[in-house]
Amino acid sequence: MTAQQDLTEGRQPSETEPVPPPADTQTTAVRPAKEPSATEPPTETRRPAETDAAETDRPAETVSDEGETEDRAAPAAGGEAGRRPRFTRARVTGALAAMLVAALAATAVLQWVSANQAHDALAGLESERALRLEVSGAAGSFGQALLSYDYQDLQTTRSTLMAQATGDFLTTYDEAFGGAMAQVIVKLKAVSRATVREVYLSDVDEATAHAIVVVDQQVNTAEAIRSVTGSHLKVTLVKEKGVWKVQEVTVLGAAKEDQYNLDGTPADGQKKKD
């Protein structure tokens, strides 16, 4: 045995001497799990199934900070994208509701305007109709009064007609009826009955009017019977103090005129009265 062998054998460890751990390396060393200290909260231990499910649901993360930011922003972007359709539908619904309200309001306004216009038009027609009826009544009443008389009560006839006349016609009629006309009526013992057949109106306004009055007349005297059919009187009316009065009269003629004896036989060879 040499001195080198003795040295080597002297450096070999004995069986009872502990073996020191090998030095740490970067590739094979495994550090023991760190025991939690009393101050640190215990780490939650997840079951394998929960871990796998969580890792499956969670999007893949990258090592870089930018990738981690993008991964974290991805769910938020997805949530915003998911909410966007609901926000769009709400806006469309609101716009449709506003358009519907505007349409209903416009329809209501148009109906109100149309109703007012219709009411005004109807009121105008009613006013015009009432005016024409008033003028027609005045003209017809005058025509009947002009051709009706009774020799036994000429004053009543005269007063009735003069209340419906004015202007030049009133002056002319008063002079004629108070003179020769009245004497002839009394002498013949004439009684006249007039019936108004038609009244035609032309120009009518609030102050003046023109009309054609068609009258049938029968005059009974002490000598004969005279029948006049379709006498046409053209009259001009004016409104004085709210009352329509005749200002001018023109006799246009009659459609037919017949004369009979008191026994009903035609006078002067005319056909016998039916």
> What are the beta bridge partners of residue 257?
228
Q: Is there a domain that residue 18 lies in?
A: no
- The 3-class SS string of 4-61 reads HHHHHHHHCCCCCCCCCCCCCCCCCCCCCCCCCCCCCCCCCCCCHHHHHHHHHHCCCC
Q: What is the DSSP string of 162-213?
A: HTTB-HHHHHHHHHHHTTHHHHHHHHHT-EEEEEEEEEEEEEE-SSEEEEEE
Q: CATH number of the domain at 154, please.
A: 3.10.450.50
Rounded-to-integer distance, Cα 256 and Cα 247, Å: 27
Print the domain residue range for 207.
130-269
Average pLDDT of span 68-90:
52
Q: Is there a domain that residue 190 lies in?
A: yes
pLDDT greater than 60 at residue 46? no
Q: What is residue 88's predicted lDDT score, i.e. its pLDDT?
A: 76
Q: What is residue 13's predicted lDDT score, i.e. its pLDDT?
A: 43
Reading the block at residue 43, the tokens are 């780490």
Rounded-to-integer distance, Cα 60 and Cα 63, Å: 10
**Strand pairing report for 256-261 and 208-220:** unpaired
Q: What is residue 240's predicted lDDT score, i.e. its pLDDT?
A: 93
Give pTM, 2 decimals: 0.57
The tens digit of pLDDT for each residue in 81-103 reads 455 555 577 777 777 778 877 87
Q: Is there a domain that residue 210 lies in?
A: yes
Q: Is there a domain that residue 169 lies in?
A: yes
The tens digit of pLDDT for each residue in 109-128 reads 777 777 777 777 777 788 88
Number of domains present in the structure of the chain? 1
Q: Is there a domain that residue 186 lies in?
A: yes
Using only the alpha carbons of the chain, give its radius of gyration: 63
Q: Is there a domain that residue 230 lies in?
A: yes
* Residue 17 vs residue 243, higher pLDDT: 243
The tens digit of pLDDT for each residue in 157-198 reads 999 999 999 999 998 888 888 778 888 999 999 999 999 999
Average pLDDT of span 41-60:
45
* Closest alpha carbon to 260 in 216, 230, 219, 232: 219
